[in-house]
Structure 1
Amino acid sequence: TKPSGLWQNTFDERQFKRDLQQSRSKPEHRTSSPVNFKSFLQSSVLKDTEEAAELQKSQADVPPPVIGPPRLFGEIAYQLDRRILSYVFQAHQRFYGFTLLNIPEKIIEVSTHPLTGKVDEGYQLHLTKRYTDLMEELSQLEYKAALHPPFCEFIINTYGILKERPSKHSSQGTEYNDPDFLMKLIENIAPRRLQKDLLLVLSCLCYMAAKDKKPLLAW
């Protein structure tokens, strides 16, 4: 038998109230509450700020490219040539006509009396020993007597040398006598095919500067 209309209405009303009560008791689902959204924005801004600061810090850690005149390459090569000549021929002040390529001939020339033609064999032996000993020392830095003198000559002819000497206590003078500055300059602006030998020439110049206790660029 079918339930009476009154019972059916009462049942429907009770069911409706139960459904309504259940729907109210269920937690309301939100994609994001206003408080959470605000904190999300704050954390996002904070994260972006931290990342920007970190990026800026990392960029600050990378030094700017070293810039200087390419003539410094020629000056480095010239200074090494000069230091080697000054070491071998320490009694001489002027080196007009002297090159690293003609050192053996110049040893014979300066040890021979210009009028009598008599050879001072002791002096000749002394100069020869200074030259061979120095070449042996520089060879430890991979300097090659047959290769690097013409290389230095090429660099000097290609780039020239400094036209003006920087003041000893100027920032420029300090930089030009800083091995790290010169090394970075070579790495930054020298042609790649020349870098290896230019760095070797610089290493040899540093060695000579320590040996004669003078600045890298000495005039």
Structure 2
Amino acid sequence: MRCFRFAHTRYATTSHATTSRAGVARDASATGCLLSHQVLRDNPSYQDDEPLHQERLVGEIAFQLDRRILSHVFQGQARLYGFTVLNIRDKIIEVTTHPMTGKVNENHQLQLSQRHAELMSRLNQLGYCSSLHPPFTEFIINTYGILKQRPNSCNILELGFNNPDYLRKIIIDTAPSKLLKDLLLLLTCLCYMGRQDGKPLFLW
């Protein structure tokens, strides 16, 4: 399988730099940027001051897949701030270790680890690479940003957010050719997870 190299390459354009208007420092760590994006959108007082951009929708696809994987592994976990697929193994250890005594709930840890391994096995069959695509996902989110506001339920279908063909077209029309294969794979994985749990592609 082809591995995409992006760690030392800058793809952000002037339009992408608008992410900084949301108060997200572009030189922050990937996890910090993910957290900042989520906090901004969850703040009911925060208002978007510009129309939705296709670039942000590309980042939203990556963000939604990351959240979908985390929600599957950490079922019942109320808050996932600071959690990413990239640090998922550390978070499994963290949530199964008592903060005061340091005692590990081995049964729970095994359950989470197995759930993660089984999901990765299924996604790997679609072409997802567990060593490549988690950092690639964070790179896409931090480059393109995410949607600034949650659309209301009436607008989701109207905007095409649950339409794989529409989202595929957005990726093709927006992203550079060197990113297309991996971005389309993220969308394929998101669609797969949507079919498996019977939920919309974008969850808020």
Query: What is the deviation of 1:217?
Result: 0.8
Q: For the Cα contact (< 8 Å) 1:71–1:159, is it kept in 2?
A: yes
- Identify if the C-alpha distance between structure 1 residues 218 and 191 changes in structure 2 by more than 3 Å, giving closer, same or farther: same
Q: Does 1:77 align with 2:27?
A: no
Q: For the Cα contact (< 8 Å) 1:166–1:172, is it kept in 2?
A: no
Give 2:81's match in structure 1, choosing from 82, 93, 96: 96
Q: What per-residue deviation string (whole Å, max 9, x for no partner) do you get for residues 119-173 of structure 1?
A: 1110010000000000000001100010001111001000100012223223764
CA RMSD of aligned residues (A): 1.6
Q: Does 1:152 align with 2:137?
A: yes
Q: Which runs of 4+ in 1 moved over 4 A?
A: 171-174
Matching residue of 1:126? 111
Q: Distance in 1 between matches of 2:145 and 2:129?
A: 22
Q: Does 1:115 align with 2:100?
A: yes
Q: Distance in 1 between matches of 2:113 and 2:138?
A: 22
Count of residues in Structure 1 that have an aligned counterpart in Structure 2: 153
3-state SS in 1 of match to 2:87: helix
Matching residue of 1:179? 164
Give 1:163's match in structure 2, choosing from 140, 145, 148: 148
Matching residue of 2:183? 198
Structure (1 or 2) with the greater helix fraction: 1
Q: Distance in 2 between matches of 1:174 and 1:218?
A: 14
Matching residue of 2:44? none
Unmatched tracts of structure 1, length 5 or more: 1-66
Matching residue of 1:137? 122
Q: For the Cα contact (< 8 Å) 1:77–1:152, is it kept in 2?
A: yes
Q: Distance in 1 between matches of 2:200 and 2:53?
A: 18
TM-score, normalization by structure 2: 0.71
Q: What per-residue deviation string (whole Å, max 9, x for no partner) do you get for residues 30-72 of structure 1?
A: xxxxxxxxxxxxxxxxxxxxxxxxxxxxxxxxxxxxx962101
Q: Which amino acid in the other structure matches residue 114 of structure 2?
A: K
Q: Does 1:217 align with 2:186?
A: no
Which segment is superposed worse, 98-107 or 145-154? 98-107
3-state SS in 1 of match to 2:60: helix
Q: Percent identity?
A: 59
Query: What is the deviation of 1:77?
Result: 0.3
Matching residue of 1:13? none
Q: Distance in 2 between matches of 1:209 and 1:173?
A: 18
Q: Distance in 2 between matches of 1:218 and 1:130?
A: 20
Q: Greater Rg, structure 1 or structure 2?
A: 1
Q: For the Cα contact (< 8 Å) 1:167–1:173, is it kept in 2?
A: no
Q: Distance in 1 between matches of 2:142 and 2:193?
A: 22
3-state SS in 2 of match to 1:117: coil
Which segment is superposed worse, 95-104 or 170-179? 170-179
Q: Distance in 2 between matches of 1:80 and 1:112?
A: 26
